[in-house]
Amino acid sequence: MKLPPFDYACPASLAEAISLLASHEGEAKVIAGGQSLMPMMAYRLATPSLLVDLRKLPGLDRIEIGSKEIRIGAKVRWRDILDSADLRKAHPLVVEAIGHVAHYQIRNRGTVGGSLAHADPAAEMPGIAVACDALIEIVGKAGARVVRADAFFMSALTTVLQSDEIITHVRLPAWPAARRWGFEEFARRRGDFALGAVAVFYDEDGLARAKDVHIGVIGASNRPRRIREAEAILNGRGVTEALIVEAGRAVSAAVDPPDDIHASAAYRRALAGTLTERALMRAVGGAK
């Protein structure tokens, strides 16, 4: 369908963008790549009175790789992530996961900030942010704040972002080169929304026991989640096949998947467990 009418502004500064959002009291929406918002508007699921386009805002399109963290600007596109050989070395998990985002054309426009703000429970970037304990930098009328990813996503398509706030960056903690990890996603067709995906990673102590295990799941609850029950099974132990099966079961038991036309809740629950097992098998097998 054609889009509903709206006013359009293309501010040149963050301060101007925020004041435009604030002056419209919840009726304005930010647009960057528009790859989620445009379909929402076509379906009348979003009918903002004003669109504030971020395309002229400077400085939000960089990937900064530091020794302690990786800082990704909100306007960085999927394509930029996939094209960055430095990022692939510095944080292989995020690049692997983003390779599953939508289709070729969408990846040329869709942005990191847009996906975080949209908060689809099956989206890869929110899942990676939660799995990696990312920090989300936000600026609004009241000033700047930093929110932990697991406190940012409240429910499907719902975040703590206020109507006058804009995501500016996401920060991922630095990634040790020897870290073991795996990412597994299942969708009916390439590029479709995931019916489920699981990101796992852990480091090893001197005795090859897993420590600091992270297991993040998308598509199986109303928001991306770490599954602490499953992480606890592996922490402090050598990762064996028996433990992997146990962790998969713990994930299946902990998730709360939707029941919809794409798949039943029972199917998604089983899938989350299977994907956990596969991701852990990959992690054990070593980095790809």
Partner 1 sequence: MSQPTLEIRFTVNRKRVRVQVPARLTLADCLRHELRLTGTHLGCEHGVCGACTVIVNGEAVRSCLMLAVQAEGAEIVTVEGLSNDEALTPLQASFRKHGALQCGFCTPGMITTAHALLSEEPDCDADRVREVLSGNLCRCTGYIPIVEAVLDARAAYRKSRGD
Distance of CA 29 to the CA centre of its chain: 20
Query: Using CB under 8 A, which of 13, 23, 105, 155 touches partner 1?
Result: 105
Say whether residue 111 binds partner 1 (CB under 8 A). Answer: no
Beta bridge partners of 215: 200
Say whether residue 160 binds partner 1 (CB under 8 A). Answer: no
How is residue 19 written in tokens? 């004041």
Q: How far is the CB of 206 from partner 1 (least distance, A)?
A: 40
3-state secondary structure of 171: strand
Question: Interface residues for partner 1 in 13-52 (CB under 8 A)?
Answer: 31, 34-35, 38-39, 42-43, 51
Comparison of 44 and 89: residue with beta carbon closer to partner 1: 44
String marking each residue 188-217 x if it binds partner 1 according to CB under 8 A? -xxx--------------------------
Comparison of 108 and 240: residue with beta carbon closer to partner 1: 108
Comparison of 103 and 148: residue with beta carbon closer to partner 1: 103
Helix (H) or strand (E) holding 153: strand 153-155
> What number of chain residues touch partner 1 (CB under 8 A)?
30
Helix (H) or strand (E) holding 148: strand 143-148
Give the range of 103-111, 193-201, 235-243, 245-253 binding partner 1 by CB under 8 A. Answer: 103-111
Query: Using CB under 8 A, which of 4, 26, 173, 238 touches partner 1?
Result: 4
Beta bridge partners of 213: none
Asked if 79 and 42 touch (Cβ cutoff 8 Å), the reply is: no
3-state secondary structure of 65: strand
Task: Give, as one character, the DSSP assignment of residue 139.
Answer: E
Task: Give, as one character, the DSSP assignment of residue 3.
Answer: P
Q: Phi and psi of 240, rounded to 5°? A: -105, 170
How is residue 222 written in tokens? 């109303």
Binding site for partner 1 (CB under 8 A): 1-8, 10, 31, 34-35, 38-39, 42-43, 51, 53, 55, 79, 102-106, 108-109, 189-191
